[in-house]
Amino acid sequence: MKLTIVIVNYNVKYYVEQCLYSLRPALDNMDAEVYVVDNHSADGSIEYLRTRFDQWEHPKVHFIESSHNLGFARANNLAIRQAQSDYILLLNPDTFVAENTIRTCVDFMDQHPDCGGVGVCMSRYDGAPAKESRRGLPTPMTAFYKLSGLCDRFPNSRRFGHYHMSYLPWDKPAEIEVVSGAYFMLRKQTVDKVGPLDEDFFMYGEDIDLSFRILKGGYHNWYLPVRIYHYKGESTHKSSFRYVHVFYNAMLIFFRKHYGHMSILLSIPIKGAIYGRALLAVVNMQLGLLKKSLGFLGKRSKTTPVYIFLVAANNEEQSRRFAKRRGLEAQFYIADAATYPKGHHDHGLNMKPIPENQIGYIVYDVTAYTYGQILECFAISPSPNTLIATYLPEQDMLITAEDVMT
């Protein structure tokens, strides 16, 4: 077996469904399998996904059902321990991949036996590269620069900007230190040597810890300029107190594990910064709840989002009925990759411009454009008010970073 892909699901069955559909062409002619580990979802995920993917022969999809929420690390490890392949790919459920992404990563690792982990260019909601695609180790000083805001203030500095390694080019392979757990390709031999994910981390931080152990094991981690789209945490609620606790606790676990030997004079400022940021997050959350309860919700947008459908001719009527049923402000264009290869950037479409004060979702019919072509279209000229959306005609389903409409 060449590759085992592990996807951990928690109440995001529709995102997993799309992720699996994107994997099929990406794994063409590759000896690969997929494990979907369900963390005791309450949305009927296993029944829903089994009905659709149990019969797939390639890739074969295996399901593991947990009786309770194990967290990210433990759930991944259930499948990692069963893998008998050369490589393992940890893939978030709220992603989709371009057709060349996985093959490029496997070929690179075949050619670089000292490569232990590989990450890729993760696209944001507007198609721009996500800075989390490449990261440096959060050494005490790097963590201090990040927590103090110097990292964001001086992103191109090799010293202050090291956390996101933002001085590196996006279009060239580069050695990095930390690979994101949203897409983390691993050499099985490396995992056998340094160990799987540390189960002390419930969620967040386990990818940093594993990346560090890979480097300590004598391997290298790499970034490759091939794309995936990451909806960025649809299975978590980043405005919740639980998120604050889990996220900042993970930072403390990592610091104690790898830098617990530091002198107290150096460790106190780092711990203080972590606790300070956590406290600030809680205070801001409380202020937000207070404003909401008092009716101070800030300025509301006077415009509703517009959904711009680029659909194959045979799906136009269905997509129009869908938009009408959901009450969407929508525009429709008959388009496919053959006639309009640049998608919403193609001047031949004569698309109406999206006003600067309005959000526009460009809804790509996945039968008219491949997932890789959709990412390429958005990469041409990202705009903060022009966002990625997909329409799956067979399921009559529209997916954005904020919502799934069926």
Domain count, the chain: 2
Segment (H or E) for 390: strand 386-392
Q: Check residue 251 and give its pLDDT.
A: 64
Q: For position 320, which CATH number holds?
A: 3.40.50
If asked whether residues 76 and 219 sit together in one domain, one would say yes
pLDDT digits (tens, 9 = 90+) for 338-356: 999 999 999 999 998 898 8
Burial of 320 (0-12, 13-18, 19+ CB in 10 A): middle
Q: Check residue 247 and give its pLDDT.
A: 61
If asked whether residues 205 and 315 sit together in one domain, one would say no
Residue 16 near residue 50, CB atoms below 8 Å? no
Q: Kindly report which listed range (29-33, 80-84, 299-303) carries the lowest average pLDDT score.
A: 299-303
What confidence category does residue 239 fall into, taking pLDDT thresholds of 50, 70 and 90?
A: very low
Give the Cα separation of 328 and 305 in Å (integer). 8
pLDDT digits (tens, 9 = 90+) for 24-41: 999 999 999 999 999 999
Residue scoring higher pLDDT (251 or 323): 323
Give the Cα separation of 346 and 353 in Å (integer). 12
Tell which residue, 51, 215, 188, has the closest CA to residue 109: 188
Segment (H or E) for 77: helix 72-80
Q: Check residue 200 and give its pLDDT.
A: 82
Q: Check residue 140 and give its pLDDT.
A: 77
Q: Kindly state whether residue 291 falls inside one of the protein's structural domains.
A: no
List of long-range contacts for 322-327, beta carbons under 8 Å, 24+ apart:
322/391, 322/396, 322/398, 322/405, 326/398, 326/405
Give the chain's mean pLDDT: 89
Q: Kindly state whether residue 374 falls inside one of the protein's structural domains.
A: yes
Whether 397 has a pLDDT exceeding 80, the answer reads yes
Q: Give me the count of residues in the chain.
A: 406
Q: Kindly state whether residue 250 falls inside one of the protein's structural domains.
A: no
Whether 157 has a pLDDT exceeding 90, the answer reads yes
Q: Check residue 205 and give its pLDDT.
A: 79
Give the Cα separation of 289 and 196 in Å (integer). 39
State the amino acid at position 67 in one-letter form: S
Q: Of 178, 210, 230, which residue constitutes the final position of a domain?
A: 230
If asked whether residues 205 and 349 sit together in one domain, one would say no
What confidence category does residue 261 fall into, taking pLDDT thresholds of 50, 70 and 90?
A: low
If asked whether residues 51 and 166 sit together in one domain, one would say yes
Over residues 235-256, mean pLDDT: 57
Region of 167 on the Ramachandran plot (φ > 0 left; ψ -120 to 50 alpha; else beta): alpha
Tell which residue, 246, 153, 169, has the closest CA to residue 206: 246
What confidence category does residue 232 fall into, taking pLDDT thresholds of 50, 70 and 90?
A: confident
Q: Of 200, 230, 260, which residue constitutes the final position of a domain?
A: 230
What confidence category does residue 225 fall into, taking pLDDT thresholds of 50, 70 and 90?
A: very high
Q: Kindly report which listed range (214-223, 283-292, 337-346, 356-365) carries the lowest average pLDDT score.
A: 283-292
Region of 369 on the Ramachandran plot (φ > 0 left; ψ -120 to 50 alpha; else beta): beta
Whether 235 has a pLDDT exceeding 50, the answer reads no
Q: Kindly state whether residue 111 falls inside one of the protein's structural domains.
A: yes
Residue scoring higher pLDDT (234 or 104): 104
Query: Residue holding tokens 């981690």?
Result: 221
The pTM (predicted TM-score) of the whole model is 0.87
Residue 182 near residue 230, CB atoms below 8 Å? yes
Q: Check residue 302 and give its pLDDT.
A: 54
Query: Residue holding tokens 């004079």?
Result: 265
Q: Kindly state whether residue 299 falls inside one of the protein's structural domains.
A: no
Q: For position 24, which CATH number holds?
A: 3.90.550.10
If asked whether residues 64 and 213 sit together in one domain, one would say yes
Give the Cα separation of 291 and 274 in Å (integer). 26
What confidence category does residue 362 fall into, taking pLDDT thresholds of 50, 70 and 90?
A: very high
Q: Kindly state whether residue 269 falls inside one of the protein's structural domains.
A: no
If asked whether residues 195 and 330 sit together in one domain, one would say no
Whether 284 has a pLDDT exceeding 90, the answer reads no
What is the rounded end-to-end Cα distance, in angstroms, of the chain?
Answer: 36
Whether 143 has a pLDDT exceeding 90, the answer reads no
If asked whether residues 176 and 41 sit together in one domain, one would say yes
Over residues 194-212, mean pLDDT: 87
Burial of 150 (0-12, 13-18, 19+ CB in 10 A): middle
pLDDT digits (tens, 9 = 90+) for 160-201: 999 999 999 999 999 999 999 999 999 999 999 999 998 887
Residue 143 near residue 133, CB atoms below 8 Å? no
Residue scoring higher pLDDT (19 or 240): 19
Q: Kindly state whether residue 46 falls inside one of the protein's structural domains.
A: yes
Q: Kindly state whether residue 11 falls inside one of the protein's structural domains.
A: yes
Give the Cα separation of 356 and 360 in Å (integer). 10
Reduced to 3 states, what is the DSSP secondary structure of residue 6?
A: strand
Q: Which domain holds residue 129?
A: 3-136+160-230
Give the Cα separation of 177 and 220 in Å (integer). 8
State the amino acid at position 365 in one-letter form: D
Whether 259 has a pLDDT exceeding 70, the answer reads no
If asked whether residues 167 and 34 sit together in one domain, one would say yes
DSSP string, 214-259: HHHTT-EEEEEEEEEEE---TTS-TTSHHHHHHHHHHHHHHHHHHH
Compute, in degrees rounded to 10, the torsion defined by CA atoms 74, 76, 82, 85.
Answer: -150
Residue 365 near residue 310, CB atoms below 8 Å? yes
